[in-house]
């Protein structure tokens, strides 16, 4: 059994604090999580979650933008943040003795950011540049376009970065209203791993007055799915990029681990079927992999590859051929067991990072409302049988259920 030392406290105001003390490290990772992202947006404010993340680094009532970073970096620490479709996280790293300072800086950011109109205007330009970077990077753009068609009619359809029109239209009050609505104690998790003390973090949290208003309409609508149409985009690029994909079960379904195993067998790693068929045997692609991008109640599952324009159809046919082989010829025990060991190995190696451990605990609370033990995750992988994977493949790999997104310079 793996020794796990989690502590979880829910304060009266609703903030959940989860920590894991690691006696063999001298550093920590501390994350302030909010259960909001682009899935909580609509067509008029798409992009505000990500923009808000940027703006929290632009100054508070107590600190300028430079001072926010200087106070942490001068101690050898690090500040950063990320926005996903369902969550937003602000996190810091540092040596154990500097945790109170990093905590104070993060608290100041989420409580006291001022959202100056001059800073908003400047940052809008930065984010529009980021948007253009995505537009110019087909291996990123294609995933946005794929989820856009896959979740058409649902809020998961919206890209995290938003639209240029929205980005340039946001003002001070938009951010204040967003913070008041979603950055509330009942929508918040504080997660920490490494050289940390649970009781100390509780005291630090209780010393601050976080927004305790009840989040308004924070519940997300259930996803209503239908088969997506194919999409072809024209770009002046050297390679053609393609996704062949569909929806699958999300974190709320125990079958997700089976989908994950099947994905690894199909196209994750250099020993996978697709890597060997398209790259090693046929030499028609450099990038080829399957993927499983999961949300609370649904996942995006599929295969991504890039190839020369002339090889696009052949590569597509080979992907479908591998689907057919699994459905009709099955999976041997050796590759099935290899996929299990790969999944378990990836899980355990991720634990060597305090940041990964901090993220894992917070996401576990957000998706399962509990800290899912590492051993439980390993047990769930071990419990899957080969017959279950074979049965799943018959429905999951049905070619009629897949949609295609292609980015290509070809005009006919």
> In whole angstroms, what is the distance from residue 251 CA to residue 255 CA?
9
Q: Can you list the pairs that 143-148 forms with residues at least 24 positions away whose Cβ atoms lie under 8 Å?
A: 143/243, 143/293, 143/300, 143/304, 145/231, 145/233, 145/405, 145/407, 146/231, 146/243, 146/245, 146/300, 146/302, 146/403, 146/405, 147/293, 147/300
DSSP code per residue over 79-142: EEEEE-SS-EEEEEEEEGGGHHHHHHHHHHHHHHB---HHHHHHHHHHHHHHHHHHHT-HHHHH
Q: Is 86 a catalytic residue?
A: no
Element at 303 (helix H, strand E) = strand 299-307
CB under 8 A, 24+ apart: contacts of 260-264: 260/292, 260/343, 261/336, 261/339, 261/340, 261/343, 261/381, 261/384, 261/389, 262/326, 262/389, 262/392, 262/393, 262/396, 262/397, 263/290, 263/291, 263/292, 263/301, 264/290, 264/339, 264/342, 264/343
Residue in 41, 53, 123, 322 annotated catalytic:
53
* Catalytic center residues: 53
């Amino acid at each position: 059994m793996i020794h796990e030392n989690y502590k979880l406290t829910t304060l009266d105001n609703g903030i959940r604090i989860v920590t894991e003390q690691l006696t063999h490290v001298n550093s920590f990772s501390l994350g302030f999580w909010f259960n909001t992202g682009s899935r909580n947006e609509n067509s008029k404010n798409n992009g505000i979650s990500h923009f808000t993340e940027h703006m929290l680094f632009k100054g508070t009532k107590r600190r300028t933008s430079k001072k926010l970073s200087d106070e942490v970096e001068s101690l050898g620490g690090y500040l950063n943040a990320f926005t996903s479709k369902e969550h937003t996280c602000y996190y810091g790293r540092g040596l154990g003795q500097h945790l109170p300072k990093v905590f104070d800086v993060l608290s100041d950011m989420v409580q006291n950011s001022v959202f100056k109109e001059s800073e908003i205007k400047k940052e809008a330009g930065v984010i529009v540049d980021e948007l253009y970077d995505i537009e110019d990077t087909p291996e990123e753009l294609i995933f946005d376009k794929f989820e856009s068609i896959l979740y058409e009619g649902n809020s998961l359809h919206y890209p995290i970065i938003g639209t240029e029109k929205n980005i340039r239209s946001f003002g001070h009050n938009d951010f204040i209203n967003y913070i008041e609505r979603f950055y509330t104690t009942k929508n918040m998790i504080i997660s920490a791993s490494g050289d940390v003390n649970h009781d100390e973090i509780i005291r630090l949290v209780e010393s601050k007055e976080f927004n305790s208003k009840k989040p308004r309409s924070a519940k997300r609508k259930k996803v209503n799915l239908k088969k997506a149409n194919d999409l072809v985009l024209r770009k002046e690029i050297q390679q053609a990029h393609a996704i062949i994909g569909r929806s699958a079960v999300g974190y709320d379904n125990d079958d997700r681990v089976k989908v994950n195993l099947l994905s690894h067998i199909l196209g994750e790693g250099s020993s996978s079927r697709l890597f060997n068929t398209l790259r090693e045997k046929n030499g028609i692609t450099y990038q080829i992999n399957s993927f499983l991008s999961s949300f609370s109640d649904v996942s995006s599952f599929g295969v991504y590859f890039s190839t020369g324009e002339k090889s696009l159809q052949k590569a597509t046919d080979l992907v479908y051929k591998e689907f057919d082989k699994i459905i009709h010829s099955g999976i041997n025990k050796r590759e099935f067991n290899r996929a299990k060991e790969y999944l378990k190995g990836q899980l355990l190696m991720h634990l060597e990072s305090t940041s990964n451990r901090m993220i894992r605990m917070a996401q576990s609370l957000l998706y399962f409302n509990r800290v899912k033990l590492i051993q439980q995750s390993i047990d769930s992988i071990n419990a899957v049988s080969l017959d279950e994977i074979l049965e799943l493949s018959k429905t999951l790999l049905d070619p009629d259920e897949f949609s295609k997104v292609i980015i290509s310079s070809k005009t006919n």
